[in-house]
Structure 1
Amino acid sequence: MKNILLFVLLSAGVSLKAQVLISKDKAENASVSLSFGNTENKGLVLPYVENKSGITENGTIIFDATDKKVKYLKENSWFDLTMDDTGMVDVSIQTAKTEVAGSKVSVGEATATDGVLVLEESDKAMVLPKVAEPHLNIINPSPGMMVYDTKNKLLCVYNGTVWTFWGAK
């Protein structure tokens, strides 16, 4: 049911001004824009992007299908969060889909032009899905998956072959 609701929102290009909670009833606090609850060892899969030349919004995070790396845009430069180029990705999963032109979900004031899901709040942030030791507990991760490791307190990024871990232990 939640997938149908998300599809309807994406198709309609609805602008939301609220907290979005997935698999939970209550946000951690008022600073949360998008948050994931008990996702049973599942992560957030980033969009597979084959041509990033038209993306200009700082803070954008993508899975670059051309070199199989998770990247974020900062001041017109792409920064690699994967640090490994052995990833495997099958972009036919998404390229076979029909996209509705201009469809997106915007949480907050809709000002950004790039992105399917845009979090616009200047005083709220997204909380990633939380998984203890995802490299051990997510059996079949998808390329471009991101989670927060609750045991090791690390940002974890999967490129299709290996996990990359960010943060101090």
Structure 2
Amino acid sequence: MKKLTIIVLGLLSIPAFSQIAIGKSAVTAGSNVSLEFYDNADNTKGIVVPWTTTVANNPVAYNATTGVGYRGIQGTVADGTLIFDLSDKKLKYMKSGAWSDLTGSPTFPLTVKDSSNNDVVFTQFNAINSTLQDNAKEVNNAKSAIGTNAATDTTSGILVLTDTNRAMVLPKVANPHLNIINPAPGMMAYDTVKKQLAVYNGTVWSFWKP
């Protein structure tokens, strides 16, 4: 399965842009969009949020030399930050200075697909599979900023949307729980049938509506 994954690894910086379209030639004309994805009716892809943990250096100690393990999210976390928390296998977002859970609890063993569509089996998430890990790590100041304030923004994060009058539009998928085959933990999409936010925690889809 091909899936859209936003990952910034081993980069010092990425140039700032004002509006970005991924999987399509341009953002929707006349819209207040910072980041928008392919949104035709046949879309079967979501985005995968960064895998990290709210628990610093635990339960798998991060080795800065080899890149093995995960060190936990660092520094001040801005409201609106999205992560897939490896410590408890939950997709979370920062709300009013506290982490809010968007998912249920997966059961193990768990099988997912890697980027080559091969099965990768997890017996638990805190034993990071080397096929997916590949000894890759972010440098401390890896960051991509999008928006008119990108050049001066100081928010901590690997992907930051800096506009105050624009927003990101999630990939739109009809029935993502049926049409996204072998989704990765931490995947998100907008369900055009249920009109809800759909998030996947590695075992089940959860649907959220205001």
Indicate the TM-score class for this superposition, using the shorter chain for normalisation.
0.7 to 0.9
**TM-score for the superposition, normalised by structure 1:** 0.84
How has the CA–CA distance of structure 1 residues 53 and 104 changed in structure 2, closer, same or farther, with 3 Å as cutoff?
Answer: closer
- CA shift, 1:26, in A, is 2.4
SS at match of 2:178: helix
Matched, 1:153 2:195: yes
State how 1:3-14 maps to structure 2 within 5 Å. 11-14=11-14
1:37 counterpart = 2:38 = yes
Supply the AA of the counterpart residue of 1:71.
K
Of 84-93 and 48-57, more deviation after overlay is shown by 84-93
Q: Deviations over 1:92-131 (max 9, x none)?
A: 4247214334121101223233211111111110000111
Which residue of structure 1 aligns with residue 98 of structure 2? 77
For the residues of structure 2 that align with 1:132 and 1:43, how far apart are their CA atoms? 11
Name the CA distance, whole Å, in 2 between partners of 1:62 and 1:42.
18
> Highest Rg: 1 or 2?
2
CA contact (8 A) 2:43 2:172 kept: no
Alignment: residue pair count: 162
Secondary structure at 1:11 match in 2: coil
Judging by fraction of residues, say which structure has more helix.
Answer: 1
Deviation of 1:55 after TM superposition, in Å, equals 4.2
| Distance in 2 separating the partners of 1:30 and 1:127 | 10
Q: Where do 1:88-167 residues align within 5 Å?
A: 88=110, 89=125, 91-92=128-129, 93-94=132-133, 96-108=135-147, 109-110=149-150, 111-167=153-209
SS in 2 for 1:155: strand
Given candidates 51, 69, 73, the residue that maps to 1:48 is 51
Structure 1 unaligned runs (5+)? none
Overall identity of the aligned pairs, in %: 44
Partner of 1:135, secondary structure, is: helix
Give distance in 2, aligned partners of 1:95 and 1:143.
17
8 Å CA contact retained: 1:65, 1:91: no
- The 1-side partners of 2:37 and 2:181 are apart by 19
Aligned AA for 2:18?
A: A
- Displacement after TM superposition at 1:52 (Å): 3.5
Cα distance in structure 2, aligned partners of 1:94 and 1:146: 21
Q: Cα deviations across residues 46-72 of structure 1 (Å, max 9, x unaligned)?
A: 001122463421110111111111111
* Distance across 2 between alignment mates of 1:94 and 1:102: 20
Confirm whether residue 63 of structure 1 aligns to residue 84 of structure 2. yes
- C-alpha deviation, 1:12, in angstroms: 4.8
Deviates more, 1:86-95 or 1:107-116: 86-95
The amino acid of 1:69's aligned partner reads: K
Partners of 1:62 and 1:72 within 8 A in 2: yes
Structure 2 distance, partners of 1:167, 1:102, is 34
Q: What is the aligned-residue RMSD (CA, Å)? A: 2.5
Normalising by structure 2, we get a TM-score of 0.69
Distance change (3 Å), C-alpha of 1:94 and 1:30? farther
Q: Secondary structure at the match of 2:11?
A: helix
